[in-house]
Amino acid sequence: MKGHKFNKSIFRAYDIRGIVADTLSVKDAYYIGYNFAKKIRDKFKSVNIVIGYDGRLSSTILEKSLIQGLFDNGANVTRIGLCASPMLYFASIRLRAEGAIMITGSHNPTNYNGFKILTKEGSYFGKQLLSLMKIKTMPIMQGNIHYFDISNSYISNLVNAISFKKNNLKVVWDPGNGSTGDIIKKLIKHIPGKHILINSDVDGTFPSHHPDPTEEKNLVEIKKTIRKYHADIGIAFDGDGDRIGVVDSQGNFISGDKLLLLFAMDILKKKPRSKIIADVKASNLIFKTISSLGGTAIMSKTGHSLIKTKMKETNALLAGEMSGHIFFADEYYGFDDALYASIRLLNIISQGFNIKEYLKKFKNLYSTPEIKVFCEDSYKFKVIDEIIKISSKKYRDVSYIDGIRVNVSYGWFLIRASNTQPAIVIRCEANSKKNLISLIKEVDFILSKFDLKLNY
């Protein structure tokens, strides 16, 4: 077997991701599979691996090469085909696999793709991913490959979670041409109420809009549809179905941290003193409210793999990110599943929960969304290191959990490097519009030292 050289940039903090035919190749997929099979055999002896893929145009060819690599190193491969990421996580548990790989570019542009990897012990990330770059040549030892349809079992699992108090909810669903489309078509047949489905055909070119449900520019159509049908709620998904975006009946976007608090309030009623994790981008009000309700609020680094690991370490029952990843471990498996989160949300709304009243909690807070400033992958972490050096001397109340989060008397700001995109991520929150503008100017001044511009 000949050697192979990877582009190091594709190995991110918690997954593998790159530009197809540029930084990420079909050969990369082969060697990732080959090396992963070796790692699984060394760890668990048995090598049963589940493989799924999203609707991107490059996913099927990457799947073929990935599976060949696994097969050539003796893995028993179960293909579940086109699916959402949470379906793969579900399949890996139900089929008791030693490992699983999801081929997905998540919410990245159409020319990206990648791999989310896990073992039966949890997420495969950080140094574990980097270890896949080291190729140890071995004789080819063939495994076997078969297909298994997990969709009915997965849908049944979601349907069993339904506990509606009223059956007349009107819901707009937007899979955004991502891999949840086919599943949602089947799922809504089992959910009470009226359901309006838009952009449900799986199409890897994402003709309707970019597959990121946390950016309001991608929610224009769902907002129009909510108004047209006088719907109670709108639910949107990213390209692989592990991130949720929610819009209320008035067209207000409910950010990931607000959605997390809504779920936290529900869980804390049933299970007081629960531990709940929010990522470093979440509002201060989230942490304060969880604590005031008797829960234990924990701040975490951003990243689905990092949060899942933190949940296991702390035995937290719920976790969430601004980006729309929501993780339930109270009555579910602890992985991020936007479809399951949808069911939990609809259960709460059906009990008469008033979202308009709930959002009043945040009326005196003024915040930015996640602002992404383009910065080359090779440069962004160096920028953050320099900003930390500068800011640690200037500010008193600073957190370095993930990048730098600075607290001042009237609010806070966060500057961190994205682990999935060539970008620096910014978020600011203040107790007035004037103070928010002040924080934005402060961040802009810091970035200007590195020839970066905060366009907001």
Point out the residues that are catalytic.
Answer: 106
129-143 b/e with 16+ CB inside 10 Å = b? beebbebeeeeeeeb
Beta bridge partners of 367: 429
Give dist(CA 67, CA 173) in Å, integer: 33
73-91 b/e with 16+ CB inside 10 Å = b? bbbbbbbbebbbbbbbbbb
Q: Both ends of the chain: CA-CA distance in Å?
A: 51
Give dist(CA 155, CA 128) in Å, integer: 32
Contact status, residue 324 vs residue 245, Cβ threshold 8 Å: yes
Token pair listed for 245: 């975006």
Give dist(CA 267, CA 272) in Å, integer: 8
Give dist(CA 456, CA 437) in Å, integer: 10
For helices 256-270 and 338-350, angle between their N-to-C axes, nearest 10 degrees: 60
Contact status, residue 15 vs residue 2, Cβ threshold 8 Å: no
Give dist(CA 29, CA 44) in Å, integer: 22
Q: Is 321 helix (H, G, I), strand (E, B) or coil?
A: coil
Token pair listed for 255: 């950010």
Give dist(CA 137, CA 153) in Å, integer: 39
